[in-house]
Chain A
Amino acid sequence: MSITREEIKHIANLSRINVSDSELDMYAETLSNIVGMANEINRLNTDDVKPTAHILESVNVFRKDEVKPSYSREKILVNAPTKESGCISLPKVVE
């Protein structure tokens, strides 16, 4: 099982990560190795096995619909790289 350079490009794009040409081979190789190791599990027959998404068996963990104070705008935006008019701002990049 090996992951091609093309596949790396595709998943890098989905991941919103740039991979330079020189890094492509490195990622293709290391990811292929890991996926190769991960492929061990495909030797197992799991036809009748239920997947586990949650370790705990709890269900219906709900909260009451009660308003609690929100945070101040200053706190919410304290880490914003740029802000304007009480909002996070982005240079015009959104279509």
Chain B
Amino acid sequence: MEDKIKEYEVVIGIEAHAELSTKTKIYCNCSTEYGADPNTHCCPICTGMPGVLPVLNEKVVEYAVKMGLATDCSIAKFSKQDRKNYFYPDLPKAFQTSQFDLPLCTNGHVDIFVNGAQKTIGITRIHIEEDAGKLIHDEFTGSTLVDMNRCAVPLIEIVSEPDIRNAAEAIEYMQTLKGILEYLEVCDCKMQEGSLRCDVNLSVRKHGDSKLGTRTETKNLNSFKAIQKSIEFEIRRQIEELENGGTIYQETRRFDDNLGTGYAMRTKEDAHDYRYFEEPDLAPIVLSDEYVSNIKNNLPEMPNVRRARYIEQYMLSEYDASQITNSKRLANYFDKTVSLCNNPKAVTNWIMGDFFKMLNELGLKINESKIIEQNLANLIKLIDTNVISSAMAKKVFVEMFETGKDAKAIVEEKGLVQITDESAILKIVEEVVNSNDQSVSDYLAGKDKAIGFLVGQIMKLSKGKANPTTVNELLIKVLGAKK
């Protein structure tokens, strides 16, 4: 099977849905805040009561245009909103207001980096639309409950070209979108809350075939893990199906993250016919060059630009630069810390090392940790000025992470200040040299390893406070005298 898989090319296009971080819904003044009690962020408009009319939130247009510009799209001078008619209990009006043939943004692209190589993924279009409500299936009573709080929360749908070839590229593409959305501050990208999610269109064909295979659409993936697993599952399923002489049907599928399997949704007996038509209650959107250029001129630095800057200005590795710039929060944290301690290399090492590890263990974002930028900068300065050793710093860092206390305070509190006084260190060195004859003679006999033991003993005796560089220098001097 694995060999067979290599014979196929995978073609993937992604429709990403990003909930915009506006204060209010797209057509009414209800709050978009997440997590409220069911049906408490609702009004007659967003619940589609008879007689109501929509009024478009100006921020929705602005945010969509921002995303369009950040992904090099053309911004439509004239665009309109359309009704997409279908029945479902999470859609109170029985139509979703969306954009059909004249979306706000078209024909853009983003660059992604996979295994060090750059690849361009085309963006077909970005349009504005409204989210649907939430259906809760009550296991106990067996009934379905409708919560309309999410109804009419504004979304942008970002449709990619079928340029993606595997799960890694899909993940990278979504990471890149996420980065851009976060940098623009138009979406909070909390995938677990569904504020960034995607549908994956996937087909396979034998290498060299010019005709595309039949595609399936796996809906509503809201974690990178789910995107990866569902793509791998679907690739294998389609190839197996074809290899066994079966047919791929154009169908809508779901992916069960817990079971790790995808399944086709029950096909409706009627082919979808959404009967799109222009929303008569909403006027067209006409954007002037001035409006667009004003937004363009005020776009923040984008992740790819920042990445290049880090590589050039701070000489970060491409990997480190990508990792740090992927999240605006992280990059901002990085920038601020660097500005406070002027040691980008050290900041990078801390962030990419212990800090990341500890954050990941607790599932925290960098801004949710107790270590503020000034604290990390202070810690680095303590090392750079030889007040504490790197070994000490690791301990201090743990304490900082747990308590949020300042590095200096911890160092003073624990009496961790490093001994840099050469005469004091020399005393300890001599004491250790004199009481470890065996190691000394091993060293003199050419066993360099023995020095490690001696250093350890010295550090132990100094309770870890002796400056390791000084210790090394003096130890070699003392031992040298014995030759």
Contacts and interface: CB of A to CB of B under 8 A. Distances in A.
A and B touch in the complex (CB under 8 A): yes
Interface of A: 10, 13-14, 16, 53-54, 56, 58-68, 70-73, 76-77, 84-95
A53 B278 contact: yes
A87 B57 contact: no
Contacts of A71: 42-44
Given A53-B280, A62-B56, A94 B144 contact: yes
Nearest to A16: B87
Interface residues of B, number: 49
Contact of B23 (A53, A62, A66, A86): A66
A67 B31 contact: yes
Interface in B332-348: none
Contact of A66 (B24, B44, B138): B24
Given A13-B270, A67-B23, A71-B42, A92 B283 contact: no
A63 B45 CA distance: 14
Interface stretch (B32-40, B159-167, B234-242, B436-444): B32-40
Contacts of B57: 62-63, 65
Contacts of A70: 30-31, 40-43
Contacts of B285: 59-60
B142 interface: yes
A89 B144 contact: yes
Give the secondary structure class of B's interface: loop
Interface of B: 22-24, 29-31, 37-44, 47, 55-59, 61, 80, 87, 89, 135-138, 141-148, 265-266, 269-270, 273, 275, 278, 280, 282-286
Contacts of A64: 58
Contact of B283 (A60, A93, A94): A60
Given A62-B58, A65-B22, A56 B283 contact: yes
Give the secondary structure class of A's interface: loop
Contacts of A59: 283-286
Contacts of A54: 278, 280, 283-284
A62 B59 CA distance: 9
The 10 closest A-B pairs by CB, nearest first: A87-B145, A62-B58, A68-B29, A65-B59, A88-B146, A53-B278, A59-B286, A92-B142, A63-B55, A90-B144
Nearest to A89: B143
B138 A85 contact: yes
Contacts of B141: 84, 89
A59 to B, nearest CB: 4
Nearest to B62: A65
A55 to B, nearest CB: 9
B76 to A, nearest CB: 12
